[in-house]
Amino acid sequence: MKFIVHTYGCQMNVRDSEAVAALLAAAGHEKAANEDEAEMVIINSCTVRDKAEQKAIGKSGNMIAAKRNGSKRLVGLMGCAVKRLGEDVFKLLPGLDFAVGPRRFGAIPHLVERCLAGERRILETAGDDEVPQGLDAHEQQGFKAFVTVLLGCDNRCSYCIVPDVRGHEFSRPGREVAAEVGALAAHGVKEVCLLGQSVLRYGRRNAAWFASDPPSLYKEPFPRLLEMLDKTQGLERIRFTSAHPGGCTDELVQAFATMPRVCRHLHLPVQSGSDRILKAMGRGYARAEYLAAIAKLRRFDPEFALTTDVIVGYPGETEEDFEATRSLMEEAQFDNAFIFKYSPRPGTRSAALPDDVSKEEKERRNQVLLADQEKRGLARNERLVGTVREVMVEGPSLRNAARWSGRDGGNRIVVFAPPRALRPGETVQVRITEAHPQILIGEALA
Ligand code: 5AD
Ligand code: SF4
């Protein structure tokens, strides 16, 4: 059957969708060129905020409505919203053919068989400790790949539904990750991004290393994983996301400082700059500890790129709390920031608290932080004018096909005129001539 997968949400979902596409292809199905041609549509859903969930449910509803009379098109929903909703998913979407939770996506080819045999409204969700089948299935792809190293999350931040839907932490054995990365690199992948909700907790809940694994300079499991992957033939860049300040240990800093493939960028969600709110959120660090963690990174490399997530309008967030977030963002000098308006999620601890910051006030705080970040992003990028960045080429720029774009080690977007015929995945040196809040412009050196 010809299929298409639509993905909402984070990189984890992007990766799970890719694995599903690879598993379906292995089962003899074929990717559709577009939605009209698809005989099967799979929607991968997110539930981290209400709006995110609504988008995936809305899209599924449209796909079901578009089933022409008598058409055999299958519509399936996968991902986090399925686990949250359980059987209720069929109340919202009565015409759905199958629904499958985040740790059960490997079952999709089998569920499709069951649907083809006439079954409908199949629901499969996994237990909190299940390890999905097909975690290492990849499509034939470009020069970048995601690799899941840590499933689930055990942090239990007060507002976050992720642990409820993605289950307990499970770290894949280091040797299994190394084999997957090695195979990707052998197929031309130059950059991998290691994924985990709180990826620096790799190897904490279960052992990822065995006595028979090669010895390491590192005691901590995540730096040890980096050390092993840094030896991969043909691989040029290693990234990972998301991080928690608790994992910013001296060994991690040493890994950044000494391993040439490990990119000097960290996505380190701070969520708030107010100690009172951080405590209410159960984040496990105070403002000063967060700032100390990033100071360690910027000490050995002042250009170390830092990006973050912030929530505005958490229950009880006062103007003073908000101003503390503003000042923290200025002190931290983030290169980029994603701002989210608090959304109560059923079953989380904070959902029991009154959602007492008005919609308008959340919007205002959101806009203030975005405007601050726009200025800060520009100022930070201006400091890079005149420097030469090592840029991994992605392809023609979306806005102007005569120019190409790529990313530097800090994940900054760099746009330049191609000096010769280029291939995606190649590395070029680019001298920066112009700064914008979100991109750098430069000229490629011969
Ligand atoms: N409301 C708003 N934002 C949230 N996030 C997680 N849960 C919520 C919520 N209930 C944000 C956090 C997280 C990002 C992925 O989504 O900032 O880092
Ligand atoms: Fe949510 Fe905290 Fe886990 Fe991030 S670390 S996914 S915020 S529980």
Ligand index nearest the alpha carbon of residue 269: 1
| Beta carbons within 8 Å of 109's beta carbon, 6+ residues apart | 23, 24, 26, 27, 29
Whether the pLDDT of residue 151 is over 80: the answer is yes
Angstrom distance (rounded) from CA 398 to CA 312 = 31
Whether the pLDDT of residue 401 is over 90: the answer is no
Share of the chain above pLDDT 70, in %: 99
pLDDT tens-digit profile of 4-47? 999 999 999 999 999 999 999 999 999 999 998 999 999 999 99
Q: Is the peptide bond before 158 cis (omega within 30 degrees of 0)?
A: no
Q: Which CATH architecture has domain 388-444?
A: Beta Barrel (2.40)
pLDDT tens-digit profile of 221-248? 999 999 999 999 999 999 999 999 999 9
Share of the chain above pLDDT 90, in %: 96
Provide the pLDDT for residue 362. 98
Give the mean model confidence (pLDDT) for residues 397-407.
91
Judge contact between 182 and 190, C-beta under 8 A: no
Beta bridge partners of 120: none
**Fold identical between 140-263 and 297-383?**
yes
Provide the pLDDT for residue 67. 81
pLDDT band at 66 (very low <50, low <70, confident <90, very high): confident
- The closest of 50, 107, 60 to 84, measured between CA atoms, is 50
Whether the pLDDT of residue 399 is over 90: the answer is no
Angstrom distance (rounded) from CA 366 to CA 310 = 9
pLDDT band at 186 (very low <50, low <70, confident <90, very high): very high
Whether the pLDDT of residue 141 is over 90: the answer is no
**Ligand 1 centroid vs 426 CA: distance in angstroms?**
35
pLDDT tens-digit profile of 68-96? 666 779 999 999 999 999 999 999 999 99
Q: State the pTM of this model.
A: 0.97
pLDDT tens-digit profile of 103-126? 999 999 999 999 999 999 999 999
Candidates 3.30.750.200, 3.40.50.1820, 3.40.47.10, 3.40.1260.10; CATH matching 297-383: 3.30.750.200
**Ligand 1 centroid vs 343 CA: distance in angstroms?**
8
| 49 Cβ inside 6 Å of ligand 1 | yes
- Provide the mean pLDDT of the chain: 97
pLDDT tens-digit profile of 241-277? 999 999 999 999 999 999 999 999 999 999 999 999 9
Instruction: Please state which CATH number belongs to domain 2-124.
Output: 3.40.50.12160
Q: Where are the domains of the chain?
A: 2-124, 140-263, 297-383, 388-444
**Ligand 1 centroid vs 305 CA: distance in angstroms?**
21
Provide the pLDDT for residue 400. 87
Fold of 140-263: Transcription Regulator spoIIAA (3.30.750)
Ligand index nearest the alpha carbon of residue 243: 2
E-assigned strand segments in 136-287: 144-148, 150-151, 170-171, 191-195, 237-241, 265-267
- Return the structure tokens found at 150: 């840590």
Residue identifier of the C-alpha nearest atom 6 of ligand 1: 160
- Locate tokens 């992957």: which residue? 229
Residue identifier of the C-alpha nearest atom 2 of ligand 2: 157
Provide the pLDDT for residue 419. 87
SS3 per-residue string spanning 213-255: CCCCCCCCHHHHHHHHHCCCCCCCEEEEECCCHHHCCHHHHHH
